[in-house]
Amino acid sequence: MTSHKYDVVIVGSGASGGAVAYTLCKAGYKVAVLEKGRLIKRDEFSKDELAYCRRDIVTPNLFDEYHVIEEEVDGKWEATPTYDSGWSFWNGNVVGGSSNFMSGMLHRMHPDDFRLKSKYGEIKGANVVDWPISYADMEPYYLKAEEVVGISGKYEKHPFEPPRSTPDFTQPPTKENAVVKLLDKSCANLDIKSLVTARSVLSKNKGHREACYYSNFCGSYGCSSGAKGSSREALLMPALATGNLTLLSNSYVKLLHSSSKNAVDYAVVIDTVSGKEKRIEAKLFVVAAQAHESTRLLLNSANKFHPHGLGNSSGELGKNLIFSAGGSGQGELREESLKMIKFEELMQTGLFVNRSILDWYFVDHWWDGTFKGGSVEFMFEHQNIISRARKNNEEHGRLVWGSELGEKVTERFTKQKSIRFEIFNDWLPNDNCFVSLDKTHKDKYGMPVGKLRVGAHPQDLKVGKYIAKKCEKVLEEMGAKNIYSSVSPVPPQNLIAGGCRFGNDPETSILNKYCQSHDIPNLFVADASFMPTGGSVPYTWTIYANAFRVADQIVKVLEEKQIV
């Protein structure tokens, strides 16, 4: 028996890595979390738009580290490195990962999302399968995430609202802008049920974290009170308090090394500050680097025992990458035509909209047909000042400048507020959406970069457009002006999953139902990579929940000394 400094090494400190670290450290195991980025502490965060939203401060410079994206152009797949397009696929490479910067609008997946194929049958051109677990297996962990991460909300009965094992959230919803009166009434007029959105933002103090202070700049920014349920605040800090966690920031993992067929024995790690390379050994390894990067790491870890990448005896590694399909739209609530509420109330800053619609999650209509739909979130347009000032300042293809620009910009900020919706529907897994290694491009550490083909299934667009039309009606009913929406097959790079499907059959999946490699027992993948289908809601709650579930299994494996 070898003695290790660590029982478990976790690659990545985001939502899933944090949930595994939290559970294992509380259970008394020695854990090292390896995070490529640096640590930004709560009191170091600020609402600096220029730094956080307009420069790559919390993500790598694209000339150093990047992806290659393959898009279909005139029937051909065209590959473009992201340093060339400026389209970054990084989402917050600091301790806590992108959970630091989320808006935190969360939903559980619906029970039928776990059995999409049984429920809706085959869809031509899509690789839809049922999950090897059911909602009942996940429910206790949704609840655990709700309580540990601190998700606020209010349960309302709705045919498409997943059932829950406790009556309601322990944290009530965050405070809401008066616009919800207008939104709720407008929905009711259209016979639509608006629901309170659950949000991973505390409305009340919780342990070392303080309640939301309604800064008006939540999404894209780190939280300065600890209210946001980031992995850093909610999971890593308590894990550190156990004394069992070693948090290694500025640690880039090149590959996982194995000297036998059945086990990973160490991670090859580069200190990003000194450039020095070292080995970190452990009994068990958990990959949690965000879907596309987790697959890339396993591919880059290929060796003579696993020539096509770690745990890839099925040849499925990287396949069936998914994003979230849908789109968004918005309209202006203008001072002169505002109904029901006062303009001053509308203009009050910082308060949330907290509303979603699940009415079209499953569509069964005499005319429209029967199909899987999606969910909708309502929010104000992001309140960033520079980006709002920069919008809509072209007329007839020409820039507006001079005093005309002054008129336009001040009008935009003082005479209206834009209300927005975002649609989330299934990104159907298909043969044209996958991640592989680029054959020529390497990052600054000399490792091949991930190449992402991002093809979408035509059904995704149809569903998105169907829902967008309904949402435009809601905005119209609210009295909004200049309404527009956009639904496109362009993937949102911050909502990414799949690539290491879980399943019961080692021939067709990478991971077993506990997200443990079929091929290598001491290797787990804890992030959203496991998801064969994505549901029609943002992934975060499911990522937290599943990682708690995986962590319990890891504890079991370690307790039973299945791995020594």
Partner 1 sequence: MKRRNFLILGSVLSLSPYIDAKASNDFEKQFRKVKNLIAAVQSHMFPEGSKIPSASAMDVNTFLFETITHKSYDKDIRVFILEGAEELELQTKGRFLSMDTKEKEKALRTYENTSYGSNWLSRIMTVTMEGIFSDPVYGSNKKEAGWKALNAYGGLPRPKTRYVAL
Kindly list the residues in this chain that would bind partner 1 in the complex (CB under 8 A).
40, 44-52, 54-57, 61, 63, 80, 84-87, 213, 215-217, 221, 224, 383, 385-386, 388-390, 393, 398-399, 401-403, 405-407, 409-410, 413-414
- Taking the least distance from each CB to partner 1, the nearer of 243 and 401 is 401
The dihedral region occupied by 547, where left means phi > 0, alpha psi between -120 and 50, and beta the remainder, is alpha
- β-pairing, 198-199 with 284-287? unpaired
Least distance to partner 1, CB of residue 82, Å: 10
Least distance to partner 1, CB of residue 412, Å: 8
- Taking the least distance from each CB to partner 1, the nearer of 83 and 120 is 83
d(CA 302, CA 449): 14
Least distance to partner 1, CB of residue 483, Å: 23
- Taking the least distance from each CB to partner 1, the nearer of 86 and 167 is 86
* Contact in structure between 500 and 293 (CB atoms under 8 Å): no
Least distance to partner 1, CB of residue 217, Å: 4
- Taking the least distance from each CB to partner 1, the nearer of 215 and 246 is 215
Residues 6+ apart with CB under 8 A from 103: 218, 219, 379
Query: Helix, strand, or coil here: 544?
Result: helix
Q: Which of 319, 316, 284 is nearest to 525 (CA)?
A: 284
* Contact in structure between 443 and 65 (CB atoms under 8 Å): yes
d(CA 542, CA 548): 10
The dihedral region occupied by 15, where left means phi > 0, alpha psi between -120 and 50, and beta the remainder, is alpha
Query: Helix, strand, or coil here: 557?
Result: helix
| Residue environment code for 247-258, b if the CB has 16+ CB neighbours within 10 A, otherwise e | bbbbbbbbbbbb
Least distance to partner 1, CB of residue 383, Å: 7
- Taking the least distance from each CB to partner 1, the nearer of 219 and 521 is 219
Least distance to partner 1, CB of residue 118, Å: 40
Least distance to partner 1, CB of residue 174, Å: 16
Structure tokens at 184: 């709720």
d(CA 233, CA 97): 11
- Taking the least distance from each CB to partner 1, the nearer of 77 and 401 is 401
- Taking the least distance from each CB to partner 1, the nearer of 350 and 506 is 350
Least distance to partner 1, CB of residue 221, Å: 7
DSSP assignment, residue 145?
A: H
Amino acid letter at 414?
A: T
- Taking the least distance from each CB to partner 1, the nearer of 82 and 542 is 82
The dihedral region occupied by 305, where left means phi > 0, alpha psi between -120 and 50, and beta the remainder, is alpha
Beta strands in 272-393 (DSSP E): 277-281, 284-287, 321-322, 324-334, 355-357, 362-365, 369-372, 374-380
Least distance to partner 1, CB of residue 392, Å: 13
- Taking the least distance from each CB to partner 1, the nearer of 215 and 303 is 215
Least distance to partner 1, CB of residue 492, Å: 17
Least distance to partner 1, CB of residue 116, Å: 33
d(CA 469, CA 333): 18
Least distance to partner 1, CB of residue 488, Å: 14
d(CA 552, CA 285): 15
Q: How far is CA 511 from CA 20, 189, 251, in A?
A: 17, 47, 26
d(CA 484, CA 481): 9
d(CA 322, CA 16): 17
* Exposed / middle / buried, residue 399 (Cβ in 10 Å: 0-12, 13-18, 19+): exposed
- Taking the least distance from each CB to partner 1, the nearer of 131 and 221 is 221
- Taking the least distance from each CB to partner 1, the nearer of 168 and 407 is 407
